Amino acid sequence: MINNLDFNVLFQQNEKKLYFILCLILIGFFLTYCFNYYSIFGFAFENKPVIENESFCSENINVYFCPLDDCSSKIVDLINSSTNSIDIAIYSFTYLDIANALIKAKERGVIIRVLFDKIQSSSNYSLDELLQQNNIFVKISTNPSSMHNKFMIVDNKIISTGSFNYTTNATKNNNENLLIIADKEIANKYALEFDRLFILN
């Protein structure tokens, strides 16, 4: 039988080990709680999407993620819906489907202005010259740094924005995001910025 004195001596000799074991037990309880808590509220710790379709839609906002969502087709659909005007500030523009949609919109009488980045427009694949050949008003940014915007304003009431460039890589390979927002007040703010940039160049 172990008396109180023997127990105290045993405890003192193994105090650090006991505290270490106790800490491990507490950490185990904490991690179990965390995993259960986040599982309940729909979070996932695996490196894969929680839902298969990443797109999100509300009354005024549509959110898309490439390459899971076909962002270029969303841009083409938006261009095809235009009736009055389209203003675009774009860093890289090499995707022919979007250029063709703009050319068709121009043929319908839509007023179109496109602002290109200076360095990107010097690429052999840039479509600024094709747009100009089809009577679309194109300007090249004179910003010595980058004109890194990627937004479009349609009929002064709908805008698209995000990381999505009008390129094959952005459509099919890169991880990109695209927001389409139907809000006149937001569109007006983008229109003011576009006009400022367009006048400067």
pLDDT at 24: 63
Domain range enclosing 13? 4-40
Question: Tens digits of per-residue pLDDT, 178-187?
Answer: 999 999 999 9
| pLDDT tier at 136, thresholds 50, 70, 90 | very high
Which listed residue (155, 184, 189, 195) is catalytic? 155
What pLDDT shows up at residue 48? 41
* Whether pLDDT at 157 is above 70: yes
Q: Is the peptide bond before 67 cis (omega within 30 degrees of 0)?
A: yes
- Kindly state whether residues 164 and 65 are assigned to the same domain: yes
186 and 96: one domain?
A: yes
Q: What angle do CA 149, 178, 60 make, to 5 degrees?
A: 110
* Sequence-ordered alpha helix ranges (H) in 14-95: 15-40, 71-80
Contact 50, 42 (CB under 8 A): yes
CA distance 146 to 65: 24
Question: For this structure, is 155 an active site residue?
Answer: yes
Name the active-site residue from 150, 157, 172, 183: 150
The reply to whether 150 belongs to the active site is yes
How much is the pLDDT for 156? 96
Euclidean distance between CA atoms 14 and 27, whole angstroms: 20
* Higher pLDDT pick, 89 / 58: 89
State residue 201's pLDDT score. 81
Domain co-membership, 154 together with 99: yes
Residue carrying structure tokens 């490439």: 66
Residues 74 and 156 grouped into a single domain: yes
172: amino acid identity, one letter = K
Q: Which of 148, 184, 189, 195 is catalytic?
A: 148
Structural domain includes residue 177: yes
| Banded model confidence at residue 159, pLDDT cuts 50, 70, 90 | very high
Whether the per-residue pLDDT at 82 is higher than 80: the answer is yes
Residue 85 sits in the same domain as residue 169: yes
Residues 13 and 75 in one domain: no
- Examine the domain organization and report whether 76 and 142 are in the same domain: yes
Question: How many domains is the chain partitioned into structurally?
Answer: 2
Please tell me the predicted confidence (pLDDT) of residue 27. 73
User: What average pLDDT does range 46-62 have in this prediction?
Assistant: 56
Q: Which residues pair with 62 in a beta bridge?
A: 57, 180
Q: Do 66 and 137 have their domain in common?
A: yes
Same domain, 147 and 70: yes
pLDDT tier, 23 (very low <50, low <70, confident <90, very high otherwise):
low
Clarify whether residues 95 and 155 are in a common domain. yes
Q: How many CB atoms lie within 10 A of CB 69?
A: 21
Element (H, E) at 129: helix 128-133
Lowest-confidence region among 3-12, 62-71, 72-81, 120-129: 3-12
Best CA proximity match to 170, nearest among 108, 120, 118, 102: 120
Say what the pLDDT of residue 126 is.
96
CA distance 113 to 109: 13
**CB of 122 within 8 A of CB of 141?**
no
For the chain, the maximum distance between any two Cα atoms, rounded to a whole number of angstroms, is 101
19 and 105 assigned to the same domain:
no
Three-class secondary structure of residue 142 per DSSP:
coil
